[in-house]
Structure 1
Amino acid sequence: MTSNLIKKMLDDWELRSNHVKEQVSTEVVLNKVDLIKIEALAETYELPASDLLANLIHTALLEVEEQMPYVAGDKVIRIEEGEPIYEDVGRTPEYMAAKARLEKK
């Protein structure tokens, strides 16, 4: 009988290994008050401040993407369930194009 604990550990290692491959280092300039908050959170949760900061940035970026407003233009780009869907003339298409271009680098 195989141990589920060993399988879980191996799965965790695989996830961590894949995650580490995607990490890059960059310099971030922070306000002193924000740095104190990050260090306090890191101490409280017994995590490296760099991991905590990376997680905060990741979560904030997901929220920003979700909250980017759709701005309906005049041009109909398709019909869904009989309703016209208008092109987005807001910042989302520009952002998505820049993101796709940078991901190809």
Structure 2
Amino acid sequence: MGNQSLSKLLELWEEHASKVSKQTEVTLSINDTDIIRLAALADVYKLPQNEIIATLIHEALNELEARMPYIPGKKVIRIEDGDEIFQDTGPMPEYLAAQKRYLAK
């Protein structure tokens, strides 16, 4: 095992430790069919079921945020490259405000 291999291993461990330290355990109810699907994924990819669940939730939330509709209001909030940018009246501003409230707790 060369220095690069050990460095890469340490890097992977640090990344894993960082992810784990930012996790909170929760209890949730899941449909029986979904439990089977999760167990099958865990079996195929040789990963713990809780890691599969956490990754799926994380990716689903990222995609959901990306798909939240921007609904332009009437108020111009800034000018970018000569274009007027209107205040978002969709769900995103309220969602971001709720995140800030939870972060402050």
SS in structure 1 of the partner of residue 47 of structure 2:
coil
Aligned to 2:9: 9
Q: Distance in 1 between matches of 2:31 and 2:46?
A: 22
TM-score (norm 2): 0.94
**1:76 and 2:86 matched:** no
Structure 1 residue aligned with 2:57? 57
Distance in 2 separating the partners of 1:15 and 1:41? 23
Report the Cα offset of residue 85 of structure 1.
0.5
User: Number of aligned pairs?
Assistant: 104
Between the aligned residues of both structures, percent identity stands at 42
Q: Distance in 2 between matches of 1:87 and 1:18?
A: 36
How does 1:4-43 map onto structure 2 within 5 Å? 4-43=4-43
Measured in 2, the distance between the counterparts of 1:10 and 1:56 equals 26
Instruction: Name the TM-score, length of structure 1 as normaliser.
Output: 0.94
Aligned partner of 1:49: which letter?
Q
Q: Which runs of 5+ in 2 are unaligned?
A: none
Cα RMSD, aligned residues only: 1.0
Q: Deviations over 1:80-104 (max 9, x none)?
A: 1111100000100000011122122
Tell me the amino acid that sits aligned with residue 58 of structure 1. Answer: H
Distance 1:30 1:21 in 2: 25
Q: Which runs of 5+ in 1 are unaligned?
A: none
SS at match of 2:58: helix
Deviations 1:12-58 (A, max 9, x none): 11111111110110011111111111111111111111110110000
**What secondary structure does 1:29 align onto?**
coil
Runs of 4+ in 1 over 6 A off after TM superposition: none
**CA–CA separation in structure 1 for the residues paired with 2:49 and 2:4:** 31
